[in-house]
A = this chain, B = another copy of it.
Amino acid sequence: MRCRGHHHHKPRPLSELAARLRGDAKKFTGPRKAVLEVLAAHPHPMTIKDVHTEARNECNLVTVYRALHLLEEMNLVKRFDFGDGVARFELLAEGDDGHHHHLICTECANVIQIEECFTEALEKGIALRSGFKAVTHKLEFFGICPDCQKR
């Protein structure tokens, strides 16, 4: 799985992440450090299993679940749903709310990050017409990548 696309925000140093974790009466433990390092090393949406495979010696599978759950609550990682029943996570850079979308190859799971977000204005229109508040959206694109077209 490759990933193109650019990151416009500077990555958060591990020390800052450690500090954020130590706040809230939380602990910056070995397993959590391992999970953060794995995510930092892969600017992809990673599954729990992906993370666990990379950190197998430092962290139990269940702990990866718990760590990512915590990091999500702290807005340090963002969860993505590609509709295949497996959650994926990306580490958020400083000042990044993680709002972007992906283009996923349905054949090989190759993932490309899409920079544009078109639907922001639409959210407002939808909120107005429906009376809903705090309107957000989930959007992912699917297709067949150039490599798979050749096969």
Contacts and interface: CB of A to CB of B under 8 A. Distances in A.
Contact of A142 (B85, B119, B135): B135
Contacts of A123: 141
Per assembly, the copies of the chain total 2
B137 A138 contact: no
A142 B133 contact: no
A104 B118 CA distance: 19
Contacts of A137: 139-142
Given A85-B85, A126-B143, A135-B142, 20 more contacts: A112-B132, A114-B126, A119-B139, A123-B141, A127-B143, A131-B145, A132-B141, A132-B143, A132-B144, A132-B146, A133-B144, A133-B149, A134-B144, A135-B141, A135-B143, A136-B141, A136-B142, A136-B143, A137-B139, A139-B139
